[in-house]
Amino acid sequence: MVVRMRSTTSHTGNRRSHHALKAMAVSLCPDCGAPSLRHRACGNCGKYKGKVVVDLKAKAEKKAKKMKIKVAEANK
């Protein structure tokens, strides 16, 4: 079967010119200096615009507690 309305290679290239991946914009956290994504809370200190948004200490304690329970159940 022959394609009736074949698109040229230049037309295909023009369409695919927008498919390129862009590099992620990373900025430094003003509080701790760790690299973080823009307009998102810092993954290191949990602050956004100088305010604590995510309590990373409580999150780490909760994860440790959950792992401790999981290990205890596995050893039974």
26-45 burial code (b ≥16 CB/10 A, e <16): eeebeeeeeebeeeebbeeb
d(CA 57, CA 45): 9
The DSSP symbol for 5 reads S
pLDDT interval class at 3 (50, 70, 90): confident
Model confidence over 53-71: pLDDT tens digits? Answer: 888 889 889 999 999 999 9
Res. 28: pLDDT tops 90: yes
Q: What is the pTM of this model?
A: 0.55
